Structure 1
Amino acid sequence: MLKTAMEMDKAAIILKLLGDKTRLTMVKILDTHDCCVCEFVEIFKASQPSISQHLRKLRDVGLVKEERRGQWIFYSLNKTNEYYPFIQQLLNQLPSQDYKLKELEEQGTRITCG
């Protein structure tokens, strides 16, 4: 699958990005749910600029895409990215993170921006 040195370099960049627990968790959540920054702020108890920085890094390599809905931007995993099959194998080995969104729903903060 990864044939050239350039592809190996790109794979290394993606794996380095996913080596961060916050980004890895974000990608796992985004594999099944669209989320906005405010939801990740609640999930990770992190600042909005910090969350936006994580999302920007994922977007810059094409793993994450954004869609404007009204005044809000929602993020999702870009399953058309050429490296999605590569990371999908990794994501399939990880435990579901759906409980994090369920906790937000129970707290009434699931869609604070919607």
Structure 2
Amino acid sequence: MNLRLGPQNPMNKTMVMILAFEVIVFGLGFPGMIMITKSPLGISLAATIVASLLAIGAAATLRRPIGYPLGWLTQLAGILLGLLTPWMYAMGGIFAAIWVVSFLMGRKIETSQTAV
């Protein structure tokens, strides 16, 4: 199964915006990791930076072959941040759901354009 959208798909802009908002949410999750759940500072910082860099890298390369695999990996990273603060399970899950729905809408656009 091809887990990418074509470079001309209009949903690519939406996918980039999802990734951009994830960077913001990952950054906002960092204080919760260290202040509320008392996760170790170094681990929390490293996990936040890795997840954010994945999202930035995916957004920057979304029209290239590596972009979508990074985007899918970002969704997994967002959910795994829940290991450091439980509310990130919810936030990561919500973003992953938005990502999947947007991807499926992009697929539908591609199939309707090829049918015409």
Is TM more than 0.5 here? no
Higher strand share: 1
Higher helix share: 2
Query: TM-score, length-normalised on structure 2?
Result: 0.31
Query: TM-score, length-normalised on structure 1?
Result: 0.32
**The structure with more radius of gyration:** 2
